[in-house]
Amino acid sequence: MKEYLVFRLYGPMASWGQPAVGGDRPTAMHPSRSAILGLLGAALGIKRDNDIALSGLQQSICIAVKQCVPGSLLRDYHTSQVPSHNNRVVHRTRKSELNVDKLNTVLSSRDYRCDGLWTIVISLTDKASVNLIKLRDALKKPVYTLSLGRKSCPLAAPLQPLIVQVANLKSALDTDFPALMHSHKEDALWLGFKGRVTYFWEGDKAEFDDVRVLTTHPWDEPVHRERWQFKQRQMHQLSLEESNYVPI
């Protein structure tokens, strides 16, 4: 038996950042490692410039995700005014940019997942400097306001964090939570759940004994928060039919 911290994430909008090129800000279908670390850091009250505390948290935990509903994609377009490029001028603030006589208008985009639902599982590493009880209590009473990837994406349901002792990671990921609405059937109708879920986890590939397990290398391991630098990590994933799903 092993101990895990389990909680769920739901909101009308979420944004799980991926590598951005130019003005486009895409989103993954499921919470990234950097997003979950940011959420836990906010709950604990760790500031972005506290490299020691952030590094300690990062080295303390392994993250797994069960994607129950990925949500539908929403693209929001923005227009912004920026000065022309000038090698002789460095703008260190937004105010400095706007003080230029001539400004250009550029188009950028922000992607979001709408009405997505995910179960998150946290386990501790051998280098852990925090414990699951502290993380659970912080999620119940967070120091800073929690969000789903962006400050404009608030939570729309309680996290309901709990510590479970189960035989394996899949059992922890399959932890049942109360319905968001009146019943799980109503949830499925409302969210468009089709009975197929996807598991994402790091660490031992053999956590799921299935030849269909895929291994990917997303760029979501933080290197420097203030500089927005990330590196690749190894992640495994597997899509399965939900065992207790009854077609509606």
> What's the pLDDT at 124?
96
Q: Which fold has domain 2-72+114-241?
A: Alpha-Beta Plaits (3.30.70)
User: For 136-143, what is the mean pLDDT?
Assistant: 97
Burial pattern 6-18, b for ≥16 Cβ within 10 A else e, equals bbbbbbbbbbbbb
pLDDT at 158: 95
| Arithmetic mean of pLDDT, 195-214 | 94
User: Mutual orientation of helices 33-44 and 51-60 as an angle, nearest 10°?
Assistant: 120
Q: Classify each residue of 120-146 as buried b or exposed e, where b means 16 or more C-beta atoms within 10 Å of its C-beta.
A: bbbbbeeeeebebeebbebbeebeeeb
Q: Residue 223: what pLDDT?
A: 86
Beta strand pairing status for 2-11 and 72-83?
Answer: unpaired
User: How confident is the model over 33-41, as a mean pLDDT?
Assistant: 96
Mean pLDDT value of segment 81-110: 82
Q: Give the angle 238-239-242 at the CA atoms, nearest 5°.
A: 125
Residue 233, classified by CB atoms within 10 Å of its CB into exposed (0-12), middle (13-18) or buried (19+), is middle
Tell me the longest C-alpha to C-alpha distance in the chain. 66
Ranges of each domain in the chain: 2-72+114-241
Rounded to 10 degrees, the C-alpha dihedral 135/137/143/144 comes to 70
Mean pLDDT of 11-28: 87
Report the pLDDT averaged over residues 103-119: 91
Q: Please, what is the average pLDDT of the chain?
A: 91
Burial class of 199 by CB neighbour count within 10 A (0 to 12, 13 to 18, 19+): buried
pTM above 0.85, yes or no: yes
Measured distance CA(23)–CA(110) in Å, rounded: 9
